[in-house]
C-alpha cells in the first residue's frame, strides 16, 4: 500500500527552499487537491522516472512538474500546469536536484521572457482601466 513518507514531505520543502518559488506556486501546492494528486501520481508510478531512463530502479520521493508551474503567465495557465496529470513526473530527490540544475541553466533567458510577457499583460490590464 502506498504511504507518503516524511522524507518526501521534506523533499518538497527542500525544493521550495532551493528554488525560490513565488507565491502563486504555493497557492496551488498548499492544497488538498495537490496532496491528493501527488499521492495518486506516486501510487501510479512509485519509481523514479529519471532513474528508469538509465535502467536504475529507485523509489520516487517527490512529484516533479515537467513544465514548471511558474512558466504559466496567467493563473489559469499555472493552475493547468499544476494539476494536469500529464505534466507530472515521479522522481527521486537526487534526480530532482539534477533536473532543476539543468533547467536553471537554460531558464534564465526563459524567465526573462516570461517576466516580459507578464509585464506586458499587466500593462495591458492597467491601460484597459483607462479605456471607455
Ligand atoms: Zn532518480
Ligand atoms: Zn521539480
Q: How do residues 23-34 score in pLDDT, each as one tens digit?
A: 777 888 889 999
Per-residue confidence (pLDDT) for residue 67, from 0 to 100: 92
Give me the residue label for grid cell 508551474. Answer: 69
Cα-to-centroid distance, 75 and ligand 1 (Å): 30
Give me the residue label for grid cell 526563459. Answer: 110
Predicted TM-score (pTM) of this structure = 0.66
For the segment 78-102, what is each residue's pLDDT rounded down to a tens digit? 999 999 999 999 999 999 999 988 8
Residues with Cβ within 8 Å of 97's Cβ and at least 6 positions away in sequence, in order, are: 18
Cα-to-centroid distance, 97 and ligand 2 (Å): 8
Determine the Cα angle at 130 with ends 125 and 132, to 5°: 115
In angstroms, what CA-CA distances link 5 with 25, 41, 58, 67? 22, 14, 15, 25
Residues with Cβ within 8 Å of 100's Cβ and at least 6 positions away in sequence, in order, are: 15, 18, 19
Per-residue confidence (pLDDT) for residue 105, from 0 to 100: 64
Per-residue confidence (pLDDT) for residue 20, from 0 to 100: 54
32 falls within a domain: yes
Per-residue confidence (pLDDT) for residue 13, from 0 to 100: 41
92 falls within a domain: yes
Contact 71, 40 (CB under 8 A): no
Which residues make up the environment of ion ligand 1, defined by Cβ < 5 Å? 48, 50-51, 92, 95
DSSP character for 73?
Answer: S
- The total number of structural domains in the chain stands at 1
Cα-to-centroid distance, 78 and ligand 2 (Å): 14
Cα-to-centroid distance, 68 and ligand 2 (Å): 7
Ligand nearest to the CA of residue 70, numbered in listed order? 2
Cα-to-centroid distance, 1 and ligand 2 (Å): 25
Among 74, 69, 71, residue whose Cα is nearest residue 125: 74
2 falls within a domain: no
Question: Higher model confidence: residue 61 or residue 7?
Answer: 61
1 falls within a domain: no
Cα-to-centroid distance, 100 and ligand 2 (Å): 6
**Please, is 68 exposed, middle or buried when counting C-beta atoms within 10 Å of its C-beta (0-12, 13-18, 19+)?**
buried
Contact 41, 63 (CB under 8 A): yes
Contact 82, 28 (CB under 8 A): yes
Q: Which domain holds residue 81?
A: 7-130
Amino acid at each position: 500500500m502506498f504511504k507518503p513518507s516524511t522524507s518526501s514531505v521534506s523533499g518538497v520543502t527542500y525544493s521550495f527552499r532551493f528554488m525560490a518559488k513565488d507565491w502563486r506556486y504555493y497557492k496551488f501546492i498548499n492544497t488538498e487537491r495537490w496532496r491528493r494528486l501527488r499521492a495518486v501520481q506516486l501510487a501510479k508510478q512509485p519509481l523514479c522516472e529519471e532513474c528508469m531512463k538509465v535502467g536504475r530502479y529507485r523509489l520516487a520521493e517527490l512529484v516533479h512538474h515537467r513544465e514548471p508551474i511558474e512558466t504559466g503567465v496567467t493563473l489559469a495557465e499555472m493552475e493547468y500546469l499544476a494539476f494536469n496529470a500529464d505534466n507530472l513526473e515521479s522522481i527521486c530527490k537526487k534526480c530532482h536536484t539534477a533536473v532543476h540544475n539543468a533547467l536553471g541553466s537554460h531558464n534564465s533567458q526563459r524567465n526573462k521572457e516570461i517576466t516580459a510577457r507578464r509585464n506586458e499583460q499587466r500593462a495591458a490590464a492597467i491601460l484597459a482601466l483607462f479605456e471607455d
